[in-house]
Structure 1
Amino acid sequence: MDLEPEQLQYLRIPSILRESVGIPGRSPRTFFLITLTLVFPLSFAILAHSLFTHPLLSHLSSRSPSHDLTLILTFQSFYLLFLFTFSLLSTASVVFSVASLYSSKPLSFSSALSSIPSIFRRLFLTFLWVALLMIAYNIVLVAFFVVLLIALDDNNPLLVLLSLSVILFLFLGVHVYITALWHLASVVSVLEPVYGLAAMRKSYELLKGRVWMGWSLVFWYLFICGVINGLFGGVVVHGDEYGYGIFMRILVGGLLVGILVMVNLIGLLVQSVFYYVCKSYHHQSIDKLALNDHLGGYLGEYVPLKSSIQMENLDM
């Protein structure tokens, strides 16, 4: 489907999903290899994590609890490092690949991988600012959980209701919004000459007028991931407790990993398309030649100095 820039701003969520799902078909080998080498390990780690932590938590030794806790903390540290690394790698490769297709730049798996080292630093600095924002968010969230516990202990129904309402608002409102801000800022960090706090500010500006759409996309992504994790925990991790055989657990586990791989890939594609939708909504154009030059800079190609990326005709 070929859409003019002015048409992009009118796209709704079903259309964004259709556009996103159709992108891999334009370079199937590249996206297959990206999925296999980056998105699959990320998705597998997310689900398999509980397979390793559950036995560790269940068999904490009473004779050496400090040793077991050290083992758990070490495992968690390596897991978070792996998760963080592959999340940024997947984002860098997918956003670069989608932008290359939109700017008519030749795309291959090797070119997508070659772009990662330059993009990774930008995404990392943007993530640091998001992490600071999430730390502040979690401090507030924990504070209201403490208030909730105090209210329950004091049997104060009004304070319980108030604290629960705030906690619900923080999770469904603030947490989802920050996640949408982060995902859009990640795309900005790749496609525009800004990153870090500047990318967060640009993301904030782009989300204006499209907050509800961004919130909905992130909410349903998190909801689907939550359902997949819940099913994996119930059937695969704790399946023996409910009478599920090993064959059933392996079958369901493999199926859920495959579904999560597709969900994560589509999520990465959606955040790229959503960026173009937001740009179009604010009547900000992108010059395909300028974008081509900008992407070439990640591959060591000559890039003329440009103060901004402007956009004109975008084929979707």
Structure 2
Amino acid sequence: MDLAAEELQFLSIPDILKESISIPKQSPKTFYLITLTLIFPLSFAILAHSLFTHPILSQLQADTTAATSDWSKLLVFQFFYLIFLFAFSLLSTAAVVFTVASLYTSKPVSFSSTIAAIPSVFRRLFLTFMWVSTLMVVYNIVFLVFLVLLIIAVDTQNVFLFLFSIIVVFLLFLGVHVYISALWHLASVVSVLEPIYGIDAMKKSYELLKGKTRMGFAIVFVYLAICGVINGIFGSIVVHGGDDYGVLVRIVVGGFLVGVLVIVNLVGLLVQSVFYYVCKSYHHQSIDKSALCDHLGGYLGEYVPLKSNIQMENLDA
């Protein structure tokens, strides 16, 4: 992040990755504690989730007349898992984005200051997430409609309807899902660094992605693909590989994959932060570091001027 603001727009994906990886070196202790307390539990939960649900699902599949208590146990577990997942996802995002922005403005960084800022940042991220969730619900409804059309096409042997449904389902699953994810990740950074959140952050994210949509799409797609591969390997060896692999092998492989996912999630959050500055630079929207520093100080209860020029274009919108 030592580059001039005007030069950030010319960064390629490898350059963004290189810049992102170098950021933790500026405050290794802070990022180590963030990784240990927030990103590690998140990554462990993502992979370990299937370890706990697999026995329950196996029992339900083996016994079609399973007791209501078994279904209740599965639903309760899923409910608390989703709460834990979303909570730690938002907490990790808040911590990393705030810390990277503090380093960008040369503001003193520490784990305690990051933790102190999280409660205020979390509320903004949560409201933005709720709008993204609404958008995802609409997307899933449309996805299910075309999935039903696909099933109907198979039953009626309508070739045209079948091909049309296949194309739409594929585009919805791959294109729209990845694009919404890119919007969400960028809107999360906007919610922390600018005086807007919720649907306004989504609108801002949409504007920032213009001209950098392909890059944002590629970054999110690669991230999701890597996470998918890690989950696939974990499932095949650790969860379902009991007959082919020993306990020691499964423990070693499981621990290794959790470590890899921790690194992937940390780098992903760092790339997400750097990509925001790249988009700002591309649209020639300068960031006043002193104003941004005051904005970040507001999360810590520090003095914030009545009028901030972090993003004057937001006041004109």
Aligning the two structures, in what range does the TM-score lie when normalised by the shorter sequence? over 0.9
Partner of 1:24: 24
Query: Which stretch of the first structure deviates more once superposed, 24-33 or 57-66?
Result: 57-66
1:6 & 1:265 partners in 2: Cα distance?
26
Partner of 1:304: 305
Amino acid at match of 1:132: T
Deviations 1:145-172 (A, max 9, x none): 1111111112222221111110111111
Amino acid at match of 2:155: D
Shift of 1:65: 3.0
Q: How does 1:220-235 map onto structure 2 within 5 Å?
A: 220-235=222-237
1:189 & 1:310 partners in 2: Cα distance?
12
Amino acid at match of 2:117: S
Partner of 1:162: 164
Instruction: Give the length in aligned residue pairs.
Output: 310
Amino acid at match of 2:39: V
Distance change >3 Å, CA 291–CA 153, structure 1 → 2: same
1:147 to 146, 149, 161: 149
What secondary structure is seen at the aligned counterpart in 2 of 1:299? coil
Shift of 1:63: 5.2
Residues 1:285 and 2:286 are matched in the alignment: yes
Instruction: Tell me the TM-score normalized by structure 2.
Output: 0.96
Amino acid at match of 1:309: I
The 8 Å contact of residues 42 and 88 in structure 2, kept in 1 or not, is answered as yes
Identity %: 70
What secondary structure is seen at the aligned counterpart in 2 of 1:51? helix
The 8 Å contact of residues 287 and 309 in structure 1, kept in 2 or not, is answered as yes
Shift of 1:64: 4.0
Amino acid at match of 2:16: I
Q: How does 1:256-271 map onto structure 2 within 5 Å?
A: 256-271=257-272
The 8 Å contact of residues 194 and 311 in structure 2, kept in 1 or not, is answered as no
Query: Which stretch of the first structure deviates more once superposed, 10-19 or 142-151?
Result: 142-151
Question: Gaps spanning 5+ residues in structure 1: where?
Answer: 312-316
Shift of 1:2: 2.7
Deviations 1:34-65 (A, max 9, x none): 00000000000000000001100011255543
2:131 & 2:90 partners in 1: Cα distance?
14
Shift of 1:306: 2.7
Shift of 1:23: 0.3
Distance change >3 Å, CA 196–CA 150, structure 1 → 2: same
The 8 Å contact of residues 127 and 182 in structure 1, kept in 2 or not, is answered as yes
1:2 & 1:223 partners in 2: Cα distance?
30
What secondary structure is seen at the aligned counterpart in 2 of 1:107? coil
The 8 Å contact of residues 290 and 310 in structure 1, kept in 2 or not, is answered as no
Q: How does 1:41-190 map onto structure 2 within 5 Å?
A: 41-60=41-60, 61-62=63-64, 64-190=66-192
Question: Gaps spanning 5+ residues in structure 2: where?
Answer: 313-317
The 8 Å contact of residues 145 and 163 in structure 1, kept in 2 or not, is answered as yes
What secondary structure is seen at the aligned counterpart in 2 of 1:239? coil
What secondary structure is seen at the aligned counterpart in 1 of 2:109? coil
2:307 & 2:98 partners in 1: Cα distance?
19
The 8 Å contact of residues 187 and 275 in structure 1, kept in 2 or not, is answered as yes
Deviations 1:85-111 (A, max 9, x none): 000000000000000000000000000
Distance change >3 Å, CA 140–CA 63, structure 1 → 2: closer
The 8 Å contact of residues 206 and 279 in structure 1, kept in 2 or not, is answered as yes
Deviations 1:283-312 (A, max 9, x none): 00001100110000000101012354159x
CA RMSD of aligned residues (A): 1.2
Partner of 1:314: none
Stretches of 4+ aligned residues off by more than 6 angstroms:
none
Partner of 2:209: 207
Residues 1:216 and 2:228 are matched in the alignment: no
2:306 & 2:66 partners in 1: Cα distance?
60
2:146 & 2:309 partners in 1: Cα distance?
42
What secondary structure is seen at the aligned counterpart in 2 of 1:9? helix
Residues 1:255 and 2:256 are matched in the alignment: yes
The 8 Å contact of residues 187 and 272 in structure 1, kept in 2 or not, is answered as yes
2:136 & 2:101 partners in 1: Cα distance?
28
2:268 & 2:306 partners in 1: Cα distance?
32
1:83 & 1:235 partners in 2: Cα distance?
23
The 8 Å contact of residues 288 and 309 in structure 2, kept in 1 or not, is answered as no
